Structure 1
Amino acid sequence: MRHRLAELRGPDVRAKSLDARALAALAANPGCERRAILDGAGVDKATLAGALGSPSAFGQSQFALVRGNAFEARVKADGGTELLRLVHEKLDRSAEPPAAARVPDLSAAGHAGRAARTELALGEAALAPGEWTLLDHPLLALDVAGSPAFLEPDAVVVHPDGSWTVVEIKSFPLLDGSADPAKVGAAARQAAVYVLALEEVAARLAAAPDAPGEAPRVRHRILLVCPKDFSNLPTASAVDVRKQRAVTARQLARLTRIEHIADALPEGTCFAPELPRERLTASVESVPASYAPECLSACELAFHCRDRSRAQDAVTTLGRPVRAELGGLTTVEDVLAAARGELGDPADPTVAALRRAAALRAEALAGAAAPTGARALAGVAGAARAEVAPCP
């Protein structure tokens, strides 16, 4: 299977590892086979988008990266003294204050070597109860649709009772103890992926022949460390990620296994960016995509997929909620034809609601120029929602 994925990526193209942010985005859209195979094969989607003629400005700015790295270095200074103080204050006040902590060396050759060294360090910490242990940038392995993904959290802390906590360090501020909910939600979804990976490590350690007992407990409250107000001083908040963990686990389980997608591709399919644009486009289009406007903030190929979705007149360009309300009507023209009475079964509740909504809209706009295309569909869909909505 690895040989097949290397062929898809291109024989001379280095694989790009999945990170937790990409994995959380993949889990949020499990029906997109295109993203699943590209991420599984280690394709650099930003480079691919540029080769297709739809470059994306997706990702952090260089300034944000430098600022984030500087803040993380400050949080972890002096052996992680401040970080451990925040963990103790926000998550484990019943434990002894962390006067000192073990900080094991996690360096090793290659991703697989680093992941094995991380697992060994976690196992050693489990055999040393009563001590605090800080793992700085550990590497965790997680199976995703039959393909391994290597994930690197900012830190993992082992408490004196042997439990594990994921630490996320972000450069957006906590103002008066709260932060932008959208950014906190994104951080929680990212941390939930790390929690799932740690749970797999804990299960393997518990199944080992020389295991001391039951599996170590992975805490579902993670520590989110951010700058306080408008300063560069670190502060923290405990975030419960049980809901995000459950959703992510369920969505990852729904992902089609990578080998099944790869087996269905035409012979000669390749995503190497140096290929002629026509062949590269044909390879990408051979894999079904599931575009929605939400992809614009989560996928480097979103502009390309949006253009194709618009060219196909697909209703998904208007968002998943509209798509869900329209049943088997998948194109804008089909929806407008159903609303005009030219298509569909009048007994179908969706068709009936569209026709009633179109009549109400025509009555309200009598004498005005009739909009067409997506604008008309948006208006009809809005009227249909109002038509079928229950009375308060």
Structure 2
Amino acid sequence: MTRSLDSRPGTEPETAAPTALRQQLAELRGPEAAPHPLDARALAALAAIPGCRRRALLDGAGVDKAALARALGAQVTFGQSQFAFVRGHAFEARVKADGGAELVRLLCGQLREEPPEAGAVDVPDLSAAGPEGRTARTALALREATAAGRWALLDHPMLSLTVAGTPAFLEPDAVIVHPDGGRTIVEIKSFAMVDGAADAAKVGAAARQAAVYALALEALEGRVRPEVLLVCPKDFSNLPAAALVDVRRQLAATRRQLARLERVADIAAALPPGLSFATDLPAAELDAALGAVEAAYAPECLAACELAFHCRERAREEGAVTVLGRGLRAELGGLTTVEAVQGAALSGAGDAGDPVVAALRRAAGLRAEALSSAEELV
């Protein structure tokens, strides 16, 4: 919704706050750095670690986390390889070469419907100036395709989703509009589908990414189908194979987790003045700046965040039990460090009435008993 500006009392604070926030976020990423755009991969990873204020702030400010990790001297292994990137683009171009007829045919095969005749698939032009213009053009194309009552393929549409108080522009591979107005998101991947099945971990990652697109598409008028069309190479060939993947569970989880994210404005308001993540700063200064924002490291971050190795090193230095996994962290209750756990188990520290402390002492006693028995046998 667009607000009109006038001279009535009380209108200035409504516009001043967003302007001040944008200025602060620009200062955080550095005066010369353009904002690094969020994509569906980043949002899927962000949703997987909703308690990490550090990532929410960096992504909301548009900080390039890979460049930041390199400036810190940390290892960066997160992301898609160049080979997979090129192979994926080549396969996608082949699948779309006939104007969307092949994708619609694959979808109809999964739905057990008769595919449309040649030339019966509309492919609207989605070109426009800037992401905002492309988003508006996509919304118009969706309305026109729904009103036409024909098959339509939207090739790389632009969608918008507000995350932690800031807009993110998302670009799915394609969206197919059915004659009845339903909309199916298409995910085209370069990993193989062998005998009708693909690697479960890769399919799960694709489903989480597609759920982000579905969440953005839900904001527009129309019905989003809960199944995503996953298109992959068939049996290591260059021929396409397809499967429908139900993303209702991933969609519900993504919606819930993104809703829990704290607003970037709230996190930024608690920062000390002059804080900056500009990558041309000394590594020690950047390390101190990151230390001012709480992180929520877990081993799962290694597959989802460019700063994971840096955060893991700091968590190990602090003796945080999060390095051992979220499951164990949840089991340990108020014991947040390895030192506290060892103290409760071996030194009699902690509240003896605490079930966690009692369980640790019991486990330590059983271990000591087992070691004693083993020594006697030797």
| TM-score, scaled to structure 1 | 0.88
Change (3 A) 1:269 1:157: same
CA distance in 2, matches of 1:324, 1:337: 18
Q: Secondary structure at the match of 1:34?
A: helix
Corresponding residue to 1:163 among 172, 176, 182:
182
8 Å contact from structure 2 (residues 44, 212) kept in 1: yes
For the structure 1 residues 289 and 265, does the alpha-carbon distance in structure 2 shift closer, same or farther, using more than 3 Å as the test?
same
Q: How far apart are residue 352 of structure 1 and its match?
A: 0.5
The one-letter code sitting in structure 1 at the alignment partner of 2:122 is R
Any idea what SS the aligned residue of 1:13 has? coil
Aligned to 1:321: 327
Shift of 1:37: 0.5
Match of 1:269 in 2: 275
Structure 2: gaps spanning 5 or more residues: 1-20
Distance 2:238 2:115 in 1: 28
* Aligned 1:106-125 pairs, distance under 5 A: 106-125=126-145
| Partner residue in 2 for 1:48 | 68
Aligned identity (percent) is 67
CA distance in 1, matches of 2:213, 2:228: 10
How far, CA to CA, are the matches of 1:38 and 1:26 in structure 2? Answer: 11
Matched, 1:30 2:50: yes
- 8 A Cα contact 1:95 1:160, kept in partner: no
Alpha-carbon displacement from aligned partner over 1:301-322 (angstroms, at most 9, x marks no partner): 0000000000000000000011
Q: Deviations over 1:265-318 (max 9, x none)?
A: 110111110112222111111110000000000000000000000000000000
Partner residue, 1:384: none
Please say if 1:175 is aligned against 2:199: no
User: C-alpha distance in 2, partners of 1:82/1:147?
Assistant: 36
Matches of 1:124 and 1:11, distance apart in 2: 42
What amino acid does structure 1 have at the position aligned with 2:93?
A: A
How many Å apart are 1:89 and its aligned residue? 1.3
The residue identity in structure 2 corresponding to 1:103 is V
Alignment pair present for 1:188 and 2:194? no
1:222 pairs with one of 197, 207, 228: 228
Unpaired runs of 5+ residues, structure 1, are 203-215, 370-392
CA distance in structure 1 between the aligned counterparts of 2:109 and 2:373, rounded to whole angstroms = 67
Q: Judging changes above 3 Å, is the alpha-carbon distance between structure 1 residues 223 and 169 closer, same or farther for their aligned structure 2 residues?
A: same
Question: What is the correspondence of 1:118-267 to structure 2 with a 5 Å cutoff?
Answer: 118-129=138-149, 131-202=150-221, 216-267=222-273
Structure 1, 241-250 or 2-11: larger mean CA deviation: 2-11
Alpha-carbon distance in 1 for matches of 2:80, 2:330: 32
Contact kept, 8 Å, 2:190 with 2:232, in 1: the verdict is yes
Counterpart of 2:33, as a letter, is V
Q: Cα RMSD between the aligned structures?
A: 1.4
Q: Which amino acid aligns with 1:155?
A: A
Q: Is the 8 A contact 1:88 1:98 kept in 2?
A: no
SS in 2 for 1:46: helix
Q: What is the CA–CA distance in structure 2 between the aligned matches of 1:274 and 1:184, rounded to whole Å?
A: 38
* 1:304 is the counterpart of 2:310: yes
What's the counterpart of residue 11 of structure 1? 31
* In 2, Cα distance between equivalents of 1:9 and 1:138: 28
Q: Distance in 2 between matches of 1:169 and 1:197?
A: 18
Taking the aligned partners of 1:94 and 1:161, their CA distance within structure 2 comes to 14
User: In the alignment, is the contact (CA less than 8 A) between 2:105 and 2:115 conserved in 1?
Assistant: no
Residue of structure 1 in register with 2:13 after alignment = none
Matched residue, 1:364: 370
- Deviations along 1:246-274, one digit per CA (max 9) or x if unpaired, are 00000000000110001111101111101
Deviation at 1:342, TM superposition (A): 2.4
Letter in 2 for 1:363: E
Q: Distance in 1 between matches of 2:30 and 2:254?
A: 30
CA shift, 1:100, in A, is 2.3
Q: Counterpart of 1:224 in 2: which secondary structure?
A: strand
Return closer, same or farther for 1:94/1:77 CA change in 2, 3 Å cut-off. closer
Give TM-score scaled by structure 2 length.
0.91
Contact 2:146 2:179 in 1 (8 A): no
> In structure 2, what is the Cα distance between the partners aligned to 1:98 and 1:223?
21
Aligned residue identity for 1:364: A
The one-letter amino acid paired with 1:143 is T
Mapped partners of 2:348, 2:74: distance in 1:
36
The letter for the 2-side match of 1:46 is A
Contact preservation (8 Å) 1:76, 1:82:
yes
Q: What do the CA deviations read for 1:309-344 (whole angstroms, capped 9, x no partner)?
A: 000000000000110110000110110110014211
